[in-house]
């Protein structure tokens, strides 16, 4: 589909993958409607189909709503009509109850019956380009060979044609998960990586950053990227400080819990950079940290792949209300089908022009000040209060 949005030259020059993402942005409405038809309405047992029909929405009515209002306003309206899934309902820890509808589900109910099960590695290429790391060595430092770590390793291996250096706190290559990953990486890349095995996994003790510091030193001052977590970013900064080493040229891409301001300051104080992203097993990178953040964890919603809206609900034991983040996958090939499904976090959603490459490309929805939701939503109401989404005018 032709794109009606002009992309600035600087963006096109800096992001070789910009046309792919721009195509994803331009085509998001028809792709979303196609995904809904194929992954929701085509399946009698889809929990989303049950929720939508219970709220009075068949495929034609959803189509009309999305085409008239746009994806995010339509999703907010659907959430207000009871079309959402809480984190507890998604994990099968709680029955899904709306007035007159009760569903007993397990996480398997949300798997995409049509998915190939693989993540699109293109999303990582755009992320790396946005941070100027498209030619830089990138390693993965995640706690265990879990689904998120595996997805990151596989995506980077596919992108680069060789497995990335992978620091894991469990002995990956000897576990069934690590062994399976090694075979997968070997198959994807057709070769080993020079570290003696296909998965490049190095076993490190929890919070032991010395192996990672050694790897950085081995790259002799060239720019490097590390996919890790906020806790490990702090461990790295602390270890670097203790060893009187700087982090110039080091870019940390944290996933999972948001990046605390103190951790960002610690990394920046040593000359490094850190961006708070979020990758989820089954849908890949959903948030890319902003290069011009207004908060330590300010990030761009990857609107070419997902939509993010909010829903007010109690988020902690004291009854504090917050905006729970609801994620929707826009592609028919996502491994998990998500429609207004809670991520397990609350946060602030803002549409704004930040001026960074990702913003200029068209990723105008930001999310920041994320925090974990620690209580189940016990309310029985069908209708939630209005979303707290704030819209500020975008610069021309
Ligand atoms: Zn930005």
**pLDDT mean by block of 10 residues, the chain; 396 residues:** 62 78 90 95 95 97 98 98 95 91 91 69 78 92 72 81 81 50 60 47 77 93 93 96 96 93 98 92 85 96 95 94 96 90 96 94 96 84 41 38
Per-residue pLDDT, 17 = 79
Cα–ligand 1 centroid distance for 22 (angstroms): 16
Cα–ligand 1 centroid distance for 336 (angstroms): 27
Residue 302 and residue 123 in contact, taking contact as beta carbons nearer than 8 Å: yes
Cα–ligand 1 centroid distance for 130 (angstroms): 9
What dihedral angle (degrees, nearest 10) is formed by the CA atoms of 118, 121, 124, 128?
160
Distance from C-alpha of 395 to C-alpha of 200, rounded to nearest angstrom: 45
Cα–ligand 1 centroid distance for 10 (angstroms): 14
Cα–ligand 1 centroid distance for 260 (angstroms): 18
The angle that helices 71-80 and 28-36 make with each other, rounded to 10 degrees, is: 40
- Quick one: tokens of 34? 């196609």
Cα–ligand 1 centroid distance for 86 (angstroms): 29
Cα–ligand 1 centroid distance for 139 (angstroms): 23
Cα–ligand 1 centroid distance for 299 (angstroms): 7
Provide the edge-to-edge strand list for the sheet that holds 166-168.
Answer: 201-203, 166-168, 138-142, 224-228, 250-254, 273-276
- Quick one: tokens of 226? 């590390």
Cα–ligand 1 centroid distance for 217 (angstroms): 29
Pairing of strands 224-228, 138-142: parallel
Distance from C-alpha of 131 to C-alpha of 127, rounded to nearest angstrom: 7
Cα–ligand 1 centroid distance for 184 (angstroms): 34
Q: Which domains, from first to last, does the chain contain?
A: 9-116+306-391 (no CATH), 129-281 (3.40.50)
Q: How many CB atoms lie within 10 A of CB 327?
A: 25
Cα–ligand 1 centroid distance for 15 (angstroms): 14
Per-residue pLDDT, 265 = 98
The angle formed by the CA atoms of residues 182, 146 and 287, to the nearest 5 degrees, is 110
SS3 label, residue 318: coil
Distance from C-alpha of 18 to C-alpha of 25, rounded to nearest angstrom: 10
Residue 78 burial (C-beta neighbours within 10 Å; 0-12, 13-18, 19+): buried
Distances in whole angstroms, Cα of residue 389 to Cα of each of 80, 142, 152, 163, 259: 13, 32, 30, 40, 22
Cα–ligand 1 centroid distance for 65 (angstroms): 29
Residue 166 and residue 200 in contact, taking contact as beta carbons nearer than 8 Å: yes
Cα–ligand 1 centroid distance for 351 (angstroms): 11
Indicate the DSSP class of residue 52.
H
In the chain, the N- to C-terminal Cα span, in Å, equals 24
Reference 105, options 147, 54, 50, 148; nearest CA is 50
Cα–ligand 1 centroid distance for 75 (angstroms): 24
Per-residue pLDDT, 190 = 53
Cα–ligand 1 centroid distance for 329 (angstroms): 21
Residue 1 burial (C-beta neighbours within 10 Å; 0-12, 13-18, 19+): exposed
Per-residue pLDDT, 384 = 40
Cα–ligand 1 centroid distance for 110 (angstroms): 31
Per-residue pLDDT, 81 = 96
Per-residue pLDDT, 183 = 65
Pairing of strands 273-276, 306-314: unpaired
């Amino acid at each position: 589909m032709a794109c009606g949005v002009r992309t600035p030259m600087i963006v096109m020059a800096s992001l070789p993958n910009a046309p792919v993402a721009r195509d994803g942005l331009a085509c998001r409405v028809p792709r979303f409607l196609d995904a809904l038809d194929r992954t929701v309405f085509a399946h009698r047992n889809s929990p989303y189909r049950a929720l939508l029909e219970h709220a009075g929405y068949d495929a034609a009515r959803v189509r009309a709503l999305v085409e008239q209002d746009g994806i995010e306003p339509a999703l907010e309206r659907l959430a207000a009509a009871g079309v959402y899934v809480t984190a507890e309902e998604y994990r099968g820890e709680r029955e899904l109850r709306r007035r007159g509808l009760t569903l007993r589900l397990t996480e398997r109910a949300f798997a995409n019956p049509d998915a190939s099960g693989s993540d699109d590695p293109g999303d990582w290429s755009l992320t790396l380009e946005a941070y100027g790391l498209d030619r830089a060595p990138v390693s993965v430092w995640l706690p265990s060979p879990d689904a998120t770590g595996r997805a990151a390793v596989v995506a980077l291996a596919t992108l680069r044609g060789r497995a990335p250096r992978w620091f894991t706190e469990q002995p990956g290559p000897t576990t069934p998960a690590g062994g399976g990953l090694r075979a997968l990486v070997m198959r994807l890349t057709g070769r080993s990586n020079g570290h003696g095995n296909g998965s490049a996994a190095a076993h490190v003790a929890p919070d032991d950053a010395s192996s990672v510091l050694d790897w950085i030193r081995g790259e002799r001052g060239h720019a490097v990227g590390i996919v890790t977590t906020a806790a490990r970013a702090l461990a790295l900064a602390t270890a670097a400080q203790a060893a009187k080493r700087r982090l110039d040229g080091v870019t940390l891409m944290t996933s999972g819990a948001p990046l605390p301001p103190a951790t960002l300051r610690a990394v920046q104080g040593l000359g490094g950079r850190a961006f708070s992203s979020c990758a989820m097993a089954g849908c890949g990178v959903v948030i890319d940290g902003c290069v011009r953040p207004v908060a330590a964890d300010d990030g761009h919603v990857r609107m070419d792949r997902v939509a993010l809206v909010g829903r007010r609900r109690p988020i902690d034991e004291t009854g504090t209300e917050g905006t729970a983040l609801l994620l929707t996958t826009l592609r028919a090939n996502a491994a998990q089908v998500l429609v207004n499904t809670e991520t397990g976090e609350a946060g602030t959603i803002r549409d704004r022009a930040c001026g960074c490459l990702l913003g200029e490309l068209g990723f105008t929805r930001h999310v920041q000040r994320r925090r974990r939701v620690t209580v189940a939503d016990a309310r029985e109401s069908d209708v939630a209060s209005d979303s707290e989404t704030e819209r500020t005018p975008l610069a021309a």
